[in-house]
Chains A and B, each alone.
Chain A
Amino acid sequence: MLKFIGNILQNLTHKPATRPYPYQKRAPIAGNRGHLVIDPAVCIYCGLCSKRCPTQALAVTRKPNPNSWTLDPYRCILCGYCVEVCPKHCLSLKPEHGDYSSPNSP
């Protein structure tokens, strides 16, 4: 049991291992798959991403309908398959975790 004393002293003298979230947020780790974004200027609305999406989270419409690309964030599993298949490379995953609880979420 005495071997644990070092650990106990460390716990007494060090700061907590946790952070007071949400007041203090950790910087996102580079390379994390946090949320999906599109560059609408480059997109050609081919619909390949929506065909390949394993969860049908994406919906793409094109002529004769107005061009649109919509993401259902509650279905998206952030796998990144759409990013791989996009022929124009207009989709990308950003490291910040998306805040989908608010209507104007990233």
Chain B
Amino acid sequence: MIMNLSEIKLENLIGAVAAKRASGYRFVTITCSDLGDAFDLLYHFDKELKLETLRVRLPKGAELPSISAEYFAALLVENEIKDLFGIAVAGMLLDYQGRFLLPEDAPRNPWRRPSGDADPGAAPRKEGSDHE
């Protein structure tokens, strides 16, 4: 359970983030997880040690609007999720072209799962399968 969580629609994201900024919140980070058919994005904000979270559901293939115009600090983490999950982020102030965290010869979007893939925690993988 996450305290102070509110679910919002993708089209309301920029407005909700701008409202957070206007009421004096500090940007903490964005958490992304791949649910198979969609991405689950959590935007964390902090004000006087109270954490508030916005939850957005992003369907696969959809474009995520960048919040780096509101919060410059979101730039790095947006580049990170672009690298790891292959999410197209529109309007970033600075775009590393998918090579922020990963070097030139690394695989592209290593954390992205094919659609319909189950959560990894549900079915424990075979021992040692991480070495292949």
Residues of A at under 8 Å CB distance from B?
Answer: 51, 56
Question: What are 3 A-B pairs with beta-carbon distances under 8 A?
Answer: A51-B127, A56-B127, A56-B128
Shortest beta-carbon distance from A48 to chain B in Å? 13
A56 neighbours in B (Cβ, 8 Å):
127-128
Residues of B at under 8 Å CB distance from A?
Answer: 127-128
B127 neighbours in A (Cβ, 8 Å):
51, 56
Q: How far is the CA of A51 from the CA of B128 in the complex (A)?
A: 10
Shortest beta-carbon distance from A94 to chain B in Å? 27
Query: Taking chain B's interface residues, is the majority helix, strand, or loop, or is none over half, making it mixed?
Result: loop
Q: How far is the CA of A56 from the CA of B128 in the complex (A)?
A: 7
Closest chain A residue to B127 by CB distance? Answer: A56
Among all A-B residue pairs, the 3 with the closest Cβ atoms = A56-B128, A56-B127, A51-B127
Shortest beta-carbon distance from B20 to chain A in Å? 39
Closest chain B residue to A56 by CB distance? Answer: B128
Q: How far is the CA of A56 from the CA of B126 in the complex (A)?
A: 12
Q: How far is the CA of A56 from the CA of B127 in the complex (A)?
A: 8
Closest chain A residue to B128 by CB distance? Answer: A56
Q: How far is the CA of A85 from the CA of B130 in the complex (A)?
A: 23
Shortest beta-carbon distance from B44 to chain A in Å? 29
Q: How far is the CA of A51 from the CA of B127 in the complex (A)?
A: 8
Q: How far is the CA of A22 from the CA of B127 in the complex (A)?
A: 39
Q: How far is the CA of A42 from the CA of B2 in the complex (A)?
A: 47
Shortest beta-carbon distance from B131 to chain A in Å? 8
Q: How far is the CA of A11 from the CA of B118 in the complex (A)?
A: 64
Q: How far is the CA of A56 from the CA of B125 in the complex (A)?
A: 14
Closest chain A residue to B130 by CB distance? Answer: A56
Shortest beta-carbon distance from B118 to chain A in Å? 23
Shortest beta-carbon distance from B116 to chain A in Å? 30
B128 neighbours in A (Cβ, 8 Å):
56
